[in-house]
Chain A
């Protein structure tokens, strides 16, 4: 990390924000193409080669649409709400490291906008502010469906934000840092060990040491971005698009942009936290990060093409009854193993505590499954 003049940081930030916007545009194109392939259709193919100009055509179309404000809407809030969503979505991308440093014209430049020492928490905080766009949009539309969608979104995002945050605690324990740059750098040191006379060297990516956390994070991330199969806030069949029913033209597209940008950002985050970010074979660099993020984005599209929507009580049940207890167990075990690894507790204490934890978890699990027969729903 090098100190650099503020104006260079501004330029890097500008580039990152614009990359996110372009990425979002082509994310919509990719989504339509992939879903079309999965459904044995062709997808957009009229504008440009392979329909590559389709996002631009869509943007122009949305700009030309009539901009309606419902008569009984709370006008100021109605206008501000989509902007809140749109502004907060790319902000989280500012702490993602896209590489180390490059030297251009004799000036060393960090390939990230800023290295906050609470980087990951900052992303969670920005995401939680983004909920206001949805809630206020639903409230100000003066439409029952919109309000219902907004309430669903609020409950869903709050629940899954807890799960999302707690699933990362294991990573924080292992890397003893909240800064994304430090977390990525920790993962770039290869893990050498020998087994049966053979020397192995595997990447120290946290997906290997925190597999439970990774899966929980993935599920919570889908719910956090309101994507299928957790797209309850905008369920077309029940709520006629939920919170953005009354939005049209470019105000609607702000929500659209926000959704896709937060998908990209959370994919970048997942790649940085669990898959080593810019770390990869041959040469480290941002191409590895982009490749890993693309895998996550493809996974998002795949989910949408495959799975039906959850029911609302199922959605809440997964968060509070399954994922949250799992994250807590994961934190306990990770902390215990970390203590043992630092030689802060003896082997006996480690085994006894681990055994107690496992027994308690098993007992609670058995008790809860018996209870659930009585309390269906």
Chain B
């Protein structure tokens, strides 16, 4: 057995094992890690096929960007909120099994009828090298013959981005106008996205009123609070659902060590 076959066997076996791990793992984070391992092994197989560019791009795009975001989402979601991982009604499971088998059959038919029977294409290793190499050939193809599809894909991605932005925009304010939350959990400040440090987003009709409602402002690096109620110790994501009221403050308003709580008791 040559070294190349040995390396391929190792990569393939690892890819299959970790692929099974994606489905079988009980913990969604473990599933995602297995998927990472699968992708890295697939990239290795691409490199063995002399498609170095494809292999590296596979790692950069899928492993480095997309799966990181997937992990991001999984880690932020409470595991109890996730649907039962291996549940489902018997009928659903049977249907899934049949569909999976059909997919497998489809792939098997495609492989058996095309790869083995078909003729090898013109792009042999030597021919690609003659043309200037892997990256050069790919670049020339994508940006001469396939410009239009590439642009179309770019537009689709742009639409997706704008759609996500529209969906993530906060809804109209309910109740009394107050400084708007930006709709994101700010990882930058311990008080989260309480919005007191920033101008509220100019959205909707209540924005002007909301601005006059601000009772704390930044002066020369110091936050000047005119009314203790304009700040609270609750994290931003709780504030989205429950406004801290005056009477609940007395029980939940703990001194956070910055002297904010004491300030309030004195006033």
Chain A residues close to B by CB (< 8 Å):
74, 77, 116-118, 121-122, 124-129, 131-132, 135-136, 139, 147-148, 150-152, 154-155, 158, 161, 165, 176, 178, 232, 238, 311-313, 315, 374-377
Q: Evaluate whether A125 and B68 lie within 8 angstroms (CB atoms) in the complex, with A117-B134, A148-B187, A377-B199 already known.
A: no
A151 close to B72 (CB less than 8 A): yes
| Contacts A312-B187, A377-B197, A377-B199; A132 near B36 (Cβ below 8 A) | yes
Nearest chain B CB to A311's CB is how many angstroms away? Answer: 5
- CA A312 – CA B27 in complex, angstroms? 30
Contact A128 B64 (CB under 8 A): yes
Roughly how many angstroms separate A127 CA and B65 CA in the complex, as a whole number?
A: 11
Which B residues between 45 and 65 are near A, CB-CB below 8 angstroms? 52-53, 56-57, 59-60, 63-65
**Set A74, A132, A176, A311: member contacting B188, Cβ < 8 A:** A311
CA distance A147 to B197 in the complex (A): 24
B100 is an interface residue with CB less than 8 A from chain A: no
Is A125 a contact partner of B59 (Cβ separation < 8 A)?
yes
Complex formed: what's the CA distance from A329 to B190 in Å? 36
Q: Are B199 and A121 interface neighbours, CB within 8 A? A: no
The answer to whether residues A118 and B202 also contact, given A154-B72, A158-B68 and a CB cut-off of 8 A, is: no
Query: Across the A-B interface, how many residue pairs have beta carbons closer than 8 Å?
Result: 104
Q: A74-B27, A77-B33 given as contacts; is B56 within 8 A of A121 (CB)?
A: yes
Which residue of chain B has its CB nearest to the CB of A148? B187
Taking CB atoms, residues of chain A closer than 8 Å to B201 are 375
Can you list 21 pairs linking A and B with CB atoms under 8 Å apart? A74-B29, A117-B133, A118-B134, A118-B135, A122-B52, A125-B43, A136-B29, A136-B33, A136-B71, A139-B71, A148-B187, A151-B72, A152-B187, A155-B187, A158-B69, A161-B65, A312-B187, A315-B188, A375-B199, A375-B201, A377-B199
- Once the chains bind, are A129 and B52 in contact (CB under 8 Å)? no
Given contacts A128-B68, A374-B199, 12 further A-B contacts (CB under 8 A): A77-B29, A117-B133, A121-B56, A125-B60, A136-B33, A147-B75, A154-B69, A155-B187, A232-B188, A312-B187, A315-B188, A377-B197
Enumerate chain B residues within 8 angstroms of A148, measured Cβ to Cβ: 187
- In the complex, what distance in Å separates the CA atom of A161 from the CA atom of B65? 9
With A131-B68, A158-B65 as known contacts, state yes or no: A121 contacts B53, CB within 8 Å. Answer: yes
Give the residue name and chain of the B residue nearest to A131 (CB).
B68
B133 proximity list for chain A (CB < 8 A): 117
B64 touches A117 (CB 8 A): no
Q: Which residues of B contact A74 (CB under 8 A)?
A: 27, 29
Q: Is B266 interfacial (CB-CB < 8 Å)?
A: no
Given contacts A129-B59, A313-B186, A374-B202, contact A135 B64 (CB under 8 A): no
The answer, among A118, A132, A150, for a CB contact under 8 Å with B56, is A118
Q: If the complex has contacts A121-B56, A375-B201, are A178 and B135 also in contact, measured as CB distance less than 8 A?
A: yes
B176 within 8 A of A: no
Q: Which B positions have Cβ atoms within 8 angstroms of A?
A: 27, 29-30, 33, 36, 40, 43, 52-53, 56-57, 59-60, 63-65, 68-69, 71-72, 75-76, 133-136, 182, 186-190, 197-199, 201-202
- B52/A118 in contact, CB under 8 A: yes
How close is A6's CB to chain B, nearest CB, in angstroms? 9
Q: What are the residues of chain A within 8 A of B68 when measuring CB–CB? A: 128, 131-132, 135, 154, 158
Cβ-defined contact, A129 with B64, below 8 A: yes
B25 nearest CB across to chain A (Å): 11
Name the residue in B36, B60, B186, B187 with the highest tally of chain A Cβ atoms < 10 Å from its Cβ.
B187
Residues of chain B lying within 8 A (CB to CB) of residue A158: 64-65, 68-69
A129 contacts B199, C-beta separation under 8 Å: no
Residue among A129, A150, A151 with the highest chain B CB neighbour number at 10 A: A129
Alpha-carbon gap, A336 to B122, bound state (A): 33
Bound-complex Cα distance A139 to B27 (A)? 13
Determine whether the beta carbon of A135 is less than 8 Å from that of B71. Answer: yes
Residues of A within 8 A of B136 (CB): 176
CA distance A375 to B199 in the complex (A): 7
Residue of A nearest to B54 (CB): A118
Contacts of B198 in A (CB 8 A): 376-377
* Closest partner residue, chain A, to B72 (CB atom): A154
CB-defined contacts of A125 to chain B, threshold 8 Å: 43, 56, 59-60, 63-64
By beta carbon, the residue of chain B nearest A178 is B135
Nearest-neighbour CB distance to chain B for A196, whole angstroms, equals 39
Known: A117-B52, A151-B75, A158-B68. A128 touches B29 (CB 8 A): no
One of A154, A315, A376 near B71 (C-beta < 8 A): A154
The docked-state distance in angstroms from the alpha carbon of A131 to that of B36 is 12
User: Given the complex of chains A and B, what is the CA–CA distance between A129 and B65 in angstroms?
Assistant: 9
- Nearest B residue to A238, CB-CB: B190
Query: What residue of chain B has the Cβ atom nearest to residue A377's Cβ?
Result: B198
Collect the chain A residues with CB atoms within 8 Å of residue B190's CB: 238
